[in-house]
Structure 1
Amino acid sequence: MEALQVRHRKEQRDLQSRITQKKKQASKKTRKGVNDECNKLEDELKEKHASEVAAVSGEAPKHDDGVPSEQLEDLALKTDGDEKAHTTNGTDDIEDSRAMHLASDEAIVPSQLRKPNRQKARLAKRAADVEAQVRQAAEEAKNMPDMKQQERTRMLDSMKERGLHEKEIRADGHCLYSAVADQLEQLQIPLGSAPDEKSVLKYKAVRGAAANYIEQHGDDFVPFLEEPLPDYLHKIRDTGEWGGQLELMALAKSYGTDINVLQDFGRVEKIESGRGGEGRVMWLGYYKHGFGLGEHYNSLRKAA
């Protein structure tokens, strides 16, 4: 029995050393798995020792764990003494391993024990919601009238009634100015922006004419602006900012020609130059739904 106890104590010390080493090397992600493995090793050794003690001493009365009460008490006292003898710098190896165990990462936690990733779950739910909304919008769109096609059909009918045909203008933010440039060519009116008009983009020359007129007659336009006049002029001259009602007014005055803007349902908006009697009229087609960028102007020429 004494030899058996000596061997048991040695095996317990060896196991504690192994356990300490495992827990020191554990990461946060491996913590749970290492802890479970260490508990299992301890239980297996304890059960083995209990069986061996029972075999040597005969069928002695068993403790709850299957170890004879006297042997269990003796082993506990001696093991405790051995553990105290193996402390370093006054710190118990077991307590040290537990502290490191709590500060380490978990790496090999079984997938069924991992906590669900809430962020991934939220992202997945959001993606599913967006997909559902897209499907719903597509279904609703099937039952909606094709605004683009309907507007196009009505515009073509209105052009035909007035003896006009359409010159399509590129939808690039400069469409109003490009359409006016095309109309000026049809009316044989110079763009009048540079000594050599061929060296300047046509739409850019028209932008310059609109900006110059607004700058020279600022009092007529400033009340309608939502930004300082210099900033507004910069947008007209140097950017792809869309043109609208104010620019049409400036161009009609600058080039001395009335401008008729044909719109959906055959409505015609007239911008007068103030030089009545000259008989020069530009025709533009205005679309609200017909092009990718939204609002758009085309040039309308007289049918041959």
Structure 2
Amino acid sequence: MEELLAKHRKEQKDLQGRITQKKKSATKKTRKGVNDECDRLQRELSERHQAEIAQLNGEPSQPVDGFEDLSLAGESDGTPGETTTHQADEKNHNTSNSTSSPQVPATESETVPAPAARTKKPNRQKARLARRAAEQAAQAEVAAEEAAKQTDYRGNERDAMNAVFKRLNLKEVEINPDGHCLYSAVAMQLDESGVGLRPDPKRIVLQSPSQARVDTVTSPKHDGYRAVRTVTADYIADHREDFEAFMEEPFDDYTRKIKLTAEWGGQLELLAIAKAYGVDINVIQADGRIEKIESGETDGDEDENKKKAIWLAYYRHSYGLGEHYNALTRQS
């Protein structure tokens, strides 16, 4: 029985696959015919399965015809295969009138089909659910195949970054991806390198409102981005001729967004930070390149300049919000 049921399940699964393909290829004109054909195939398979189960259980799968008494034993003279007409008539008479005989008359057997031979009406709701499940499985399989063919940009980016970190003996520090990531990563490293969040007055003199924003920072790792944003905006404003040509919006609107909003920072902001704080900034790209933004510091102390250098990891695909910067520190 288990083998038969397994065979039935396989045939049902194969039929569902055929039905799905037929319905996918159907057009408006052929859809009704295709649906009717699919229902017919489903009904025929169900009937055949029921008949096979009935046959395996020893139940008749169709009305059973009556059988004549084909006994070959003769009673008059003991000769096999011979009976007298009187004996045959008497036997038939006794058989038809016997109330204790378990045999069923031929006419009754012909008119009353066996219960196992009755075919149930197909359950259309179950058929629809089965078709829907088959279609969803086919769609999931197609989606999985397409996904397997696509380039894993996130995985490739992570692998390339990790290889560079290992080669340069760098440790990555996760920065919250909230729009302030560039400034937060810089603030953390300015504090740890000893440069601090207050720029050298020889490079930029902050006005009172800006100085107040820098002085009210409670923690370089948590709100240090406010100080770096303020210094960046003021440095760009003080060197307007060096930056305005690269902007795609009004200059004052651009600097206001840097100072007061969570607008993302980029190449112009990195250059302003390097100049304002006198630090070199090294940005590791996903393709393994290292982009260096120089501060122009020429004090001649190479070791000291290395200590002040800031390292950033720039991601394009690994974070849900888009472009992102993480901080990098030297392994001890």
Task: Note the residue ranges of structure 1 that are not aligned, 5 or more in a row.
Answer: 1-132
In the alignment, which of 281, 298, 304 is matched to residue 326 of structure 2?
298
Question: How far apart, in 2, do the equivalents of 1:208 and 1:230 lie?
Answer: 14
Query: 1:157 is matched with which residue?
Result: 163
Equivalent of 1:281, from 272, 287, 309?
309
Correspondence 1:254-265 to 2 at 5 A: 254-265=276-287
1:148/1:289 contact within 8 Å kept: yes
Tell me the equivalent position of 1:198: 218
**Cα contact 2:164–2:288 (8 A) shared by 1:** yes
Q: Which amino acid aligns with 2:217?
A: E
Residues 67-82 of structure 1 aligned to structure 2 (within 5 Å): none
Say whether residues 1:144 and 2:150 are aligned partners. yes
Greater mean alpha carbon deviation, residues 194-203 or residues 171-180: 194-203
Matches within 5 A, 1:2-41: none
Give 1:179 shift: 0.6
For 1:134 and 1:210, the matched residues in 2 are separated by: 49
Shift of residue 135, structure 1, vs aligned partner: 9.4
CA distance in 2, matches of 1:185, 1:232: 27
- 1:210-259 deviation line (CA, Å, top 9, x unaligned): 00100000010000011111100111011111000000000000100000
Identity %: 51
| Separation in structure 2 between the aligned mates of residue 144 and residue 287 of structure 1, nearest angstrom | 19
Q: Give, as a single letter, the amino acid of the residue that structure 2 aligns with 1:177.
A: Y
Give, in whole Å, the separation in 2 of the partners of 1:218 and 1:138. Answer: 52
Moved over 3 A (4+): 133-139
Mapped to 1, the partners of 2:226 and 2:253 lie a distance apart of 17
- Amino acid aligned to 1:146: D
CA contact (8 A) 1:286 1:297 kept: yes
2:231 to 206, 209, 224: 209
Cα RMSD (Å) of the superposition?
Answer: 2.2
Match of 2:173 among 163, 167, 172: 167
Q: 1:134-178 deviations in whole A, cap 9, x for unaligned?
A: 997665233212110111011011011001010010111111001
Aligned residues: 173
Distance 2:166 2:219 in 1: 36
Which secondary structure does the structure 2 equivalent of 1:166 belong to?
Answer: strand
1:187 is matched with which residue: 193, 199, 212? 193
TM-superposed CA distance for 1:190, in Å, is: 1.5
TM-score w.r.t. length of structure 1: 0.53
TM-score by length of 2: 0.49
Q: Match for residue 227 of structure 1?
A: 249
Of 237, 240, 251, the match for 1:218:
240
Q: Is the 8 A contact 1:158 1:265 kept in 2?
A: no
**Distance in structure 1 (CA, Å) of the matches to 2:140 and 2:253:** 39
SS in 2 for 1:291: coil
Determine whether 1:178 maps to 2:184: yes
Which residue is equivalent to 1:91?
none
- The letter for the 2-side match of 1:168 is E
Contact 1:191 1:197 in 2 (8 A): no
Report matched runs for 1:56-67 at 5 Å: none
Q: Aligned match of 1:241 in 260, 263, 271?
A: 263
**Inter-CA distance 136–213: structure 2 relative to 1 (3 Å threshold):** farther
Q: Contact between 2:217 and 2:226, CA under 8 Å: does it hold in 1? A: no
Do 1:257 and 1:275's aligned partners in 2 also have CA atoms closer than 8 Å?
A: yes
Which letter does structure 2 place at the counterpart of 1:172? D
Query: How far apart in 2 are the matches of 1:210 and 1:154?
Result: 30
Structure 2 Cα separation of the partners of residues 264 and 142 of structure 1:
22
Contact 1:191 1:205 in 2 (8 A): yes
Where 1:289 maps in the other structure, the secondary structure is: coil
- 1:138 and 1:295 map into 2 onto residues whose CA distance is 27
Give the C-alpha shift of residue 264 in structure 1: 1.6
